[in-house]
Structure 1
């Protein structure tokens, strides 16, 4: 297993599970507690995430929900100004990740005050990994077709695996892409991917898992989004035990404890 370093933070075997807190500067994002349009309020939220235990803060510029039109690189770039101002205001210490699918936005963020990139389209823009390599930046590759308009739109575990195993940089973290990214992807597909999480360890790269309050968990426990935290925590401990190196979450404080249980009672950290 290759360990990835992101601005001094080691991610991978032999390291504790890293927590990625979430900040959205997009009005469309569905989880309101993580949405902030004002940089001062956003910075205060980031500091709260850091105090709760976030090692990484992932800043989203647009919702990847399939119901919304995809923003252009220019439109994302306009929103990036708020994200940059937010990070400049933060006093706490964390690794800052920008969520984007465009190399132009990734370059501007990395040239400002961001440390890594979270690519929700899985290198559909072939220049994006090159931008990250040129700046020696870690980058998350989410499993997706080679299409900038279809993030996460792969259903079969085999297709997800193949998408993640190809074209990686030396500092790539893989993400199997849980969630309702496309009409074809079902809750059963997410459950099957979760059951087979351990197979992705064969790719030899650290793995990020984003399952916080996801529909496939809500379906199991018959709970709506606001009441899915216990299910998310149970799944987090299982995911860590099955090989997750980073957990992306809106609920950092609670997820920290679940990840610690996974580290202590699972076998991932021993490599």
Structure 2
């Protein structure tokens, strides 16, 4: 099914379309019948929908996403915006696209079995390379968790909507300013909740999902060495037929979980 039709379905009241798995048997929640792939039953009486493999929870007569809201005395409230360094995981509907770590390599962010996580370090100047855990870590202000001089930044490429990061550049480099104006990088149109969703805002709406689109890495034959790069769901990208849609969740981590440099 083309992504355009899939996103039209996502615009329904529940915000998504999940078809029951083949041969899946219904279960009972009180007097109601439900598919376990679509709903979670609480206290044998309340059904809450599963959204992109992520369970919602009951609160005050409704259901909420714990990746975006909290429930306090029966009232649903927004989670605070992220202040901590964070790693990212991608969860789609299919089992093979659940809780996948987002990895940085070659200035792209990707998921999947063949997605590479690249890091580099030099001991020159007394750098303790052993102090880094070399995981992909982002900072709320738009930087990558790297210590290379000039820093590195994550951003959404305006022309393609792809989630990328920069090479290390000098602090006020004219190369940086000419290549990616400051208004285009970092959290422009991106909102990150503390231990919650990593969201993107299009001109007409806030989207709580992203797209993982298939690529074949350079030098790999068709069908091999493939990974899934992360894209914002622009209207152009929604026409693609080689993508999975899902939610990205930010998890607070220690800054030292990052790397000295992401090549």
Short-chain TM bin: under 0.3
TM-score between both structures, scaled by the size of structure 1: 0.24
TM-score between both structures, scaled by the size of structure 2: 0.24
Q: Higher strand share goes to which structure?
A: 2
